[in-house]
Structure 1
Amino acid sequence: MMRVANVIQLGIKELRGLTRDPVLLILIVYAFSMSVYSAATAIPETLNKAPIAIIDEDRSPLSDRIAGAFYPPLFLTPSLITRAEMDQRMDAGLDTFALNIPPNFQRDLLAGRQPVIQLNVDATRMSQAFTGSGYVQSIVNGEVNEFVARHRSGDSLPVDLAMRARFNPELNKQWFGAVVQIINNVTMLAVILTGTALIREREHGTIEHLLVMPVTPLEIMLGKVWSMGCVVFVATALSLIVLVQGIMQVPLQGSLGLFLFGVALHLFAVTSLGIFLATMSGSMPQFGLLLMMTLLPLNILSGGTTPRESMPEFVQTVMMAAPTTHFVALAQGVLFRGADLTLVWQQLAALAVIGTALFMFSLGRFRRSLK
């Protein structure tokens, strides 16, 4: 029979071992601090201070107006260059965009012709190139239309589209990036810590010492699960309260207690997964390779980065068996949309069922690995 005192003492032993591993401690602190902050403030789709150069061969009031329309924070102050400098600067990576305004552009426009402005884009900077091209086109079209009309257009459209951005009225991508990074790091750290704890004992030979003591494999596994899960649980709560809500000022809509309850269920599942991966690997390098094969699909296909609806139906069906899919849905529902228990109970139930199945399967594998 399982003895609770043994489980508690074995978990305390794991916590003591963790405090003597500075690499893992640094990883935990980084994953829930700098990693969250950098992911939130450096989202690839965000256009921020993109370098742009302008070749003004027209030297007209309209070309001056276009050049003056690009300013921070979306763009850096434009550099006025010549045509001969354009290729050299783009080859050197100094400019992401180079806007070439041809001679007689204003005259041809007022004469009713259709002059062409050339936009050169450094497509190797994919994140800025895709988003920024649309911004440049919109800015140029707006300035040209206002110049031709000599005033801001007052024409009313036959249909008035009133946009209402729910849950993120500022369309601030930092709100999304911070929470998603925490969600991903919960899975990553839980798997790494539990798997590392088991492999470290195997490499040091202490697992044999445990087997000659009056403890069972169930008690050994539960000790690792609760101790490493507790570490990730505390780090998640502190990151949300101190960093996300306090420093980054991200408003969380729902109940923090309900979310943390979901975190506990998710940790029960992924710590069991970490034990299973550790039993499948004979050394730390092998465990690292298994992590790459496991964590990347779990995080990318769970719906946190890309909506599940845009994935093939086969992938959506398969990923329903992954705990990360239900955890992402629960976390986004609670933290972004303020969902209560009546809306997320299905995700909680799925995490409990998947966690129990993973725990029992991992326990069986762990017992066989000890023979």
Structure 2
Amino acid sequence: MLQWFKNVWVLSVKELKSLLSDVVLIALMVVVLSVAIYTVATSISTEVRHASVAVMDADHSVLSYRIRDALLEPYFKPPVEVRREDIDAAMDKGDYVFVLDIPANFERDVVAGRSPTIQVLADATSVTQAGIGFNYLSQIIDAQTRSFLRQQSAATFSPVTPVMNVQFNPNGESAWFIATMNVVSNLTLLAIILVGAAVIREREHGTIEQLLVMPVRPSEIVMAKIFANGAVISVASLLSLWLVIEGWLHIPINGSVSLFSLGMFIYLFSVASLGIWFATLAPTMPQFGLLCLPIYVVMRLLSGSESPLESMPAFFQYITWLSPETQFTQFSQDVLFRNAGLMTVWPKIMMMSIMGVLFLALALSRFRGMLAQHS
């Protein structure tokens, strides 16, 4: 057993030197865990920002002006008053995302309790802006109407006043979620590509024949590739959390980085074993890319990093729990966002470990067959 660990250590050092000497792979790792994360976090937004609003105000009352004045930046641009006959042309050209149609006698009907309506037209080609912005506008109109009625009458408009407390992300900044989840997704891609490339590089360069004449076992070769590449990716991911997430983007990390590191090591063992299995199925690097990239995309889309698992059909919710990326994504959200402890996330760690052992068994089986074929 001691000799097994010695052989794994020597082979791991060899793999580490080979990886660090590959300038292209190191550059890929740096770009994926720094520039790519910053670009995605700052260019993609799931909240309303600077949405253009037009107003057709047929009432010109105190209440209608209060509603218009409540449309503030950075959520909305200053509202522009337009004529009814110009609305269709302006919407066709995409000049406005929202149009508010305030009818005549709106304030008088509100005071009289007649429940008048305000029509909101939304350009749904901007799906995120239209969906979330409509909720913003509904809340603004409701809040301003309630406030106006309180001033008109000594009686309270509603016996219940809801108070909303937003946990973990008080301002609803989508960059906090997108940037952190991109670290998780990108280290998955790096682990699959780097470990798979290490196996295929041995085969294409002919160095696998040198391994065959060495007194080493297939399990030692596989574990060395997993340890060496996993160690480099782990260090790079932690530096990304520290330098890019906290330093560059100023996103706070609420949870334990030590617990996150533990889960990341187990996850990298799982996904690196999956990468070796893919590499044994594909004889060349282009075929390996065609095999692993579609699977990676599906794993990412169903992991909960792009959309909540609860919004998926029940069948996919059950299937995706068998993916180690889903487990690690949920684990990362619990630890980094909600400051969850080991007693909360241990089932996910256990599931990642089980999937890692399964993928390692499959990878070793195929790897032994590949070595036997070369010998």
Preserved contact between residue 102 and residue 118 of structure 2 (Cα < 8 Å)? yes
Q: Normalization by structure 1: what TM-score? A: 0.84
Preserved contact between residue 34 and residue 244 of structure 2 (Cα < 8 Å)? yes
Match of 2:182 in 1: 181
Distance 1:135 1:95 in 2: 16
Q: Deviation per CA, 1:41-81, whole angstroms, max 9, x where unpaired?
A: 45553111112223345555544333322121111222333
Counterpart amino acid of residue 244 in structure 1: I
Match of 1:55 in 2: 56
- The alignment of Structure 1 onto Structure 2 pairs a total of residues equal to 371
Match of 1:289 in 2: 290
Counterpart amino acid of residue 117 in structure 1: I
Match of 2:202 in 1: 201
After TM superposition, the structure 1 stretch with the greater mean CA deviation from structure 2, 358-367 or 76-85, is: 76-85
Match of 1:347 in 2: 348
Q: Aligned in 2, Cα 1:187/1:113: closer, same or farther, shift over 3 Å?
A: same
Query: What aligned pairs does 1:191-340 form with structure 2 within 5 A after superposition?
Result: 191-340=192-341
Q: Aligned in 2, Cα 1:76/1:26: closer, same or farther, shift over 3 Å?
A: farther
Q: Aligned in 2, Cα 1:58/1:36: closer, same or farther, shift over 3 Å?
A: same
Match of 1:118 in 2: 119
Q: Aligned in 2, Cα 1:317/1:68: closer, same or farther, shift over 3 Å?
A: closer
Preserved contact between residue 146 and residue 152 of structure 1 (Cα < 8 Å)? no
**Aligned-pair CA distance for 1:344:** 2.9
Q: Aligned in 2, Cα 1:275/1:152: closer, same or farther, shift over 3 Å?
A: farther
Preserved contact between residue 277 and residue 287 of structure 1 (Cα < 8 Å)? yes
2:27 is the counterpart of 1:26 = yes
Preserved contact between residue 178 and residue 244 of structure 1 (Cα < 8 Å)? yes
Q: Aligned in 2, Cα 1:155/1:253: closer, same or farther, shift over 3 Å?
A: same
Distance 2:127 2:13 in 1: 48
Distance 1:45 1:6 in 2: 50
Structure 1 residues without counterparts, runs of 5 or longer: none
Q: Aligned in 2, Cα 1:239/1:152: closer, same or farther, shift over 3 Å?
A: farther
Preserved contact between residue 146 and residue 153 of structure 1 (Cα < 8 Å)? no
C-alpha RMSD of the superposition: 3.2
Q: Aligned in 2, Cα 1:89/1:197: closer, same or farther, shift over 3 Å?
A: farther
Counterpart amino acid of residue 251 in structure 2: V
Distance 1:289 1:78 in 2: 49
Counterpart amino acid of residue 342 in structure 1: M
Q: Normalization by structure 2: what TM-score? A: 0.83
**Aligned-pair CA distance for 1:259:** 1.4
Counterpart amino acid of residue 127 in structure 1: T
Distance 1:103 1:160 in 2: 29
**Aligned-pair CA distance for 1:183:** 2.0
Identity of aligned residues (%): 42
Counterpart amino acid of residue 185 in structure 1: N
Match of 2:137 in 1: 136
After TM superposition, the structure 1 stretch with the greater mean CA deviation from structure 2, 104-113 or 54-63, is: 104-113
Distance 2:155 2:35 in 1: 47
Q: Aligned in 2, Cα 1:8/1:86: closer, same or farther, shift over 3 Å?
A: farther
**Aligned-pair CA distance for 1:128:** 0.8
Match of 1:97 in 2: 98
After TM superposition, the structure 1 stretch with the greater mean CA deviation from structure 2, 123-132 or 293-302, is: 293-302
**Aligned-pair CA distance for 1:83:** 3.4
